[in-house]
Amino acid sequence: MITNYTLDNLNEAQRDAVCSLSLNSLVIAGAGSGKTRVLIQRILWLIEDNNFSPFSILAVTFTNKAAKEIKSRLSESLDTNIESMWVGTFHGICYRILRTNFKEVDLPKNFQIIDSDDQVRIIKRIMKDNEIENSQIIPKQVAWYINNKKDQSIRSDKVSDDDFLSIQYNKIYKIYEEYCNSSGLVDFGEIILRTLELLQKNDEKRKYYNNLFRSILIDEFQDTNTIQYQLIKVLAGNSSSIFAVGDDDQSIYGWRGAKVENIKKLQKDFKDIEVFRLEQNYRSTGNILEAANNIILNNDSRMGKNLWTEDKSGDLVKIFSASDETEEANFVIDTLQNFVSEDYSKNEIAILYRSNAQSRIFEEKLIANGIPYRIYGGFRFFERAEIKDVIAYMRLAVTNSDNNSFERIVNNPPRGIGEKTKNILRSIAKEKNKSLYESAKEAIENSLVPNKAMHSLIEFLNIIETISSILQKDELPHQISEIIKITGIKSVYEKSKSEQSRSKLENLDELVSAAHEFVHVDLEENETIIDAFLTHTSLESGEGQGNEWDDCIQLMTLHSSKGLEFPIVFLVGLEENLFPSRMSIEEDNLEEERRLCYVGITRARKKLYISHAQIRRQYGTDNYCMPSRFLNEIPENVVEEIGHKSKMFFKKNGIFQENDHKGLSLTGKRVIHKKFGEGIVTAIEGSDANTRVQVSFDDVGTKWLILAISNLEIL
């Protein structure tokens, strides 16, 4: 049955795990340690050496891509129908069970799966039909609430939340359940929940699957959530063996329900479990691994392991201290261009960042230099929905005849202008050859739409007129800030604590920063700065992005980078309140942020550049930045500092070393700063890394600077 089975390509630790005779096994597999190879070889070993039927093995992973890779590699060795094997994602496996047992779970034979967009549309319809109108209740947030409850195996009749908003959400959840049941619709959360309920309530079916699956293998076990763990327990029963592969140091999805504590829970719930550690890394050089190991060592709640490699130490990790984010971006682009000229492929180079908003300045520099790039797992900055919304408001205020912009924002954020009202406006526009904006005015003047819609249209037109007035005065950054405020776009995302909403808020703030950089742009004849900016946003969104198969620079968030590897990695923005993020610091969630840093570092195979800026424009203002605490956790012997040395990276005996300003006798000295020019030091406060100096600059007035990263020079 197996055509080329061998264990010769495994190291000793991998072979011990693959050939474990224990009933249950937990394999802690470090980054680049060959976990997929171990999982596949375990399946082959069960079939070849233990006479397991290929169809008595269940292998579960988290992405279709990972499932496809496992199937592809199994097909190279097995002379059997791979598609009939139980290999797939949690959703894929559960969908297969539901299809077979549709009667037992009260579903029609041809039940349909709905995606997240369908889910939101249904919720909107429910709210309209049931006259649920509240500016605090946003359909996407209701969908998040419903999915979150299902991930915890909680039906609407079992919800115990008693705050006002949750009560309203749960009311919609209950109607939503009834609607989906009557329509034969199943969302992603329902696929797993209904499968779990089938196995919990139907003894015959539970025993059938317990007997069918002699061995259950789970990939990326650290990413399992509450309901997925429950499902594994029920499927395993008392007879199936568990083979879980994961890495607690790479658990970075807590914000979407992943429970890293499931690793320890597994050891309590399953008897006779043996733990294996895969610590030999086949990806990165010694210096990169030493940096990663020393950072993750600072996390308390971990299983513990130490990655090592037979490879050489390799290049030192380069840490670049930039004066600001523009210099940071210029350094990254210049450096990667040098590598491309040395015959590295562009797709061998990745720029990783904590926040989606950080991509903008790198995109602009790449476009300016004619370098193709690809945003992995996301949209380019000016193609992101929230950015396009703000731009559409600007466009409509500048050109009232812009029907595309009108269609996009007339009910965005939601203000009660539905398709019925839009159709009336479209009819007027077509009949009288008017723009939709003009048609809205006519509809109001002649009472052609219902009262409620009329009030909403009046509100909308007032907003556009206010924006028109704003665009006649003040500077571009202030104009955009005001547009974001008065349209209510930002408030929609502020009501949610989801990672996606936080990312959108950061993007909106970055749009204001982009406007600051645009203030002094050279204008064409008869061109206003508004015209130039709108043209800029169109051009930036229309070029530079490469296709998946093109040779182009890879840009992505750290979350998107998991599972990938590149010869050259630029890890940018290592500053306090950016990485680690402000929210992780406030919510005392630094361990997951540190794991995210560990993931980012271990994406690099040969060369790793880490950068931070001393000044970064955020929320429309210049902020002085402290280097990330993670930099202080990297041992000095594996690092080469380049750029404006901050003298802050390394600490000995818990005390930051700062030798450039002994005695701090600076008061009254005349100094020069790269950005602010010349001035006089008027005050000093603090000590060590926190020392601040007040400088009265000749041109820009008085500013407080962090001494260790200010790069002030005494004249």
Report, as residue numbers or ranges, the catalytic residues: 35-36, 219-220, 250, 603
* CA diameter of the chain: 85
What would the DSSP string read from start to end of 558-627?
HHHHTT--EEEEEE---BTBBTTBHHHHHTT-HHHHHHHHHHHHTTEEEEEEEEEEEEEEETTEEEE-PB
Q: How far apart, in whole angstroms, are the C-alpha atoms of residue 651 and residue 657?
A: 6
Both tokens assigned to 596: 């995210």
Q: How far apart, in whole angstroms, are the C-alpha atoms of residue 23 and residue 124?
A: 49
- For the chain, the distance separating the N- and C-terminal CA atoms, rounded to the nearest angstrom, is 80
Q: Residues 219, 243: contact at Cβ < 8 Å?
A: no
Residue 203's H or E segment, with its range, is helix 203-212
Q: How far apart, in whole angstroms, are the C-alpha atoms of residue 212 and residue 33?
A: 31
What would the DSSP string read from start to end of 363-423?
HHHHHHTT--EEETTS--GGGSHHHHHHHHHHHHHH-TT-HHHHHHHTTSS--S--HHHHH
Q: How far apart, in whole angstroms, are the C-alpha atoms of residue 382 and residue 359?
A: 10
SS3 for 297?
coil
Phi then psi dihedrals of residue 159, to 5 deg: -70, 135
Give the closest residue to 5 by CA, choosing from 63, 64, 50.
50
Q: How far apart, in whole angstroms, are the C-alpha atoms of residue 552 and residue 348?
A: 8
SS3 for 350?
strand
Q: In whole angstroms, how far apart are CA 37 and each of 29, 33, 41, 280?
A: 11, 9, 6, 13
Q: Tell me the sheet residues that pair with 680.
A: 670, 696
Give the closest residue to 492 by CA, choosing from 135, 146, 169.
135
Q: Residues 55, 82: contact at Cβ < 8 Å?
A: no
Q: Residues 647, 708: contact at Cβ < 8 Å?
A: yes
Q: How far apart, in whole angstroms, are the C-alpha atoms of residue 232 and residue 218?
A: 9
Q: How far apart, in whole angstroms, are the C-alpha atoms of residue 155 and residue 174?
A: 8
C-alpha angle 397-399-402 in degrees, rounded to nearest 5: 105
Q: Tell me the sheet residues that pair with 373.
A: 545, 553
Q: How far apart, in whole angstroms, are the C-alpha atoms of residue 627 and residue 614?
A: 8
**Helix, strand, coil share of the chain (percent; to 5):** 50, 20, 30
Give the closest residue to 321 by CA, choosing from 620, 572, 513, 11.
572
Angle between helices 203-212 and 226-236 (to 10 degrees): 80
